[in-house]
Amino acid sequence: MENFYTKQPQYYGDYLGLEQILSAQRPESEARGVDAHDEMLFIIIHQAYELWFKQIMHELNSILAIFKNETINDNSASLQTVTHRLGRIVEIWKVLIEQVRILETMRPMDFLDFRDLLTPASGFQSYQFRLLETKLGLKMEQRHQQEYYQQQLRCEHLQQIQQQEVELSLFELLDKWLSRLPFWQIEPYWSDQNTKVAESIENLHPFWQEYRTIYKNSLRGAEITEISLADFDALFFDNSENRSTRLSAAACQSAMFITIYRELPLLQQPFELLNRLLEIDELMATWRYRHWIMVRRMIGLRAGTGGSTGAGYLKGAVENHHIFKDLSRLATYLMPRTVIPPLPEKLANKLIFNNL
Ligand code: HEM
């Protein structure tokens, strides 16, 4: 029987399936005898994007599988694996943003040589891109011009996206994970907390009573009218159905705790994880913005081949398709280290590597 070491040697091109890949560039212009040199670049760049989308999906699927476990053992490699793979996704997005420059060596007149031949195909119909957004946590109701999706996507692709929406996204799994972190529940850790509470609010954990008071006193000048304490309360304590933020109050509290005390050894990995999600959101927004600017330069105010308003639609997507914006909102409520309440000793000791 063949095993890992005795199997037949592989040939480079066969192993990589190069015959299929390299015969998959079929410019329409060539088939129709039209002279359009740049169509090859247009096809290859889209294919390169789709391959990278596939790799991102591969990483994302493995991350979702880890997060779907009821508990994530902080002493196992799981959290580290998630953070590492999110880091790989970050690096891929950086490359995807850079690639726009290669496409921009094609000038608008070069694009016009073949543009009409591809109508109504458009990157809008990239179902891998849509699945990727959905797996991260973008919902149909959040999407800019949702009706357009019904018209432009092939039925089976739309169904695939709808099916994916039924499953838990990374955003939802992150919410569950953050919500079950036990920072507040373990009473003995907080028993020696020396709070300097100015105003006592019913049912609020002493930590939050103190934090809220310090925060209120930290607001200066225009912030006093611009930033309402009601928003602070809504973000961290509102558990009602009318909650304005997608991330739950419990998850916001944990994410804030991790961010504030991120230097404690056991919080470093969770902090990195949150940071990479923010980075992915930022890089995707940067890609959307970069693509929008490139499109404006390439087709001006013309409609897209996919039938949208073109640059107008893309601008709306840049503004509306952030996925982890709730995490970035937390920065509004951070304060300098000098005024952050120190953690009770018992709790701080639980958050260091102390089993050596
Ligand atoms: C000449 C180059 C390009 C032009 C003029 C262009 C134009 C457009 C336009 C106008 C749209 C809006 C939908 C429509 O009506 O078609 C769109 C969407 C999109 N395009 Fe491109 N595109 C170009 C290259 C690319 C490349 C290389 C990719 C890589 C995969 C890409 C991916 C996408 C995606 C994913 C969307 C949907 C964006 C969203 O909904 O946020 N495009 N494109």
CATH number where 337 lies = 1.20.58.480
Please check whether residue 154 lies inside any domain of the structure: yes
- Tell me if 161 is assigned to some domain: yes
- The answer, yes or no, to whether residue 345 has pLDDT greater than 90, is no
> Does residue 17 belong to any structural domain of this protein?
no
pLDDT tens per residue across span 218-277: 888 888 878 888 899 999 999 998 998 999 999 999 999 999 999 999 999 999 999 999
Q: Is the CB of 123 under 6 A from ligand 1?
A: yes
Task: Give domain status of residue 65, yes or no.
Answer: yes
Strand segments, DSSP code E, in the chain are: none
- DSSP codes joined into one string, 214-254: HHHHH--TTHHHHS-HHHHHHHHH--STT-SSSS-HHHHHH
Q: Per-residue pLDDT tens for 159-185?
A: 999 999 999 999 999 999 999 988 877
Residue 318 CB–ligand 1 contact under 6 Å:
no
Residue 272 lies in a domain: yes
Q: How far apart are CA 194 and CA 66, in angstroms?
A: 38
Structural domain count of the chain: 1
Residue 158 counted as domain residue: yes
Ligand 1: which of 291, 298, 302, 322 to mutate, most ligand atoms within 8 Å of CB?
291
Considering only CA atoms, which residue is closest to atom 31 of ligand 1?
A: 123
pTM for this predicted structure? 0.93
| Pocket flag, ligand 1, residue 344 (CB < 6 Å) | no
User: Could you tell me if the CB of 67 is within 6 A of ligand 1?
Assistant: no
Domain-embedded: residue 21? no
Structural domain harbouring 103: 38-350
Domain assignment present for residue 258? The answer is yes
Encoded amino acid at 102, one letter: I
pLDDT digits (tens, 9 = 90+) for 69-112: 877 666 668 899 999 999 999 999 999 999 999 999 999 999 99
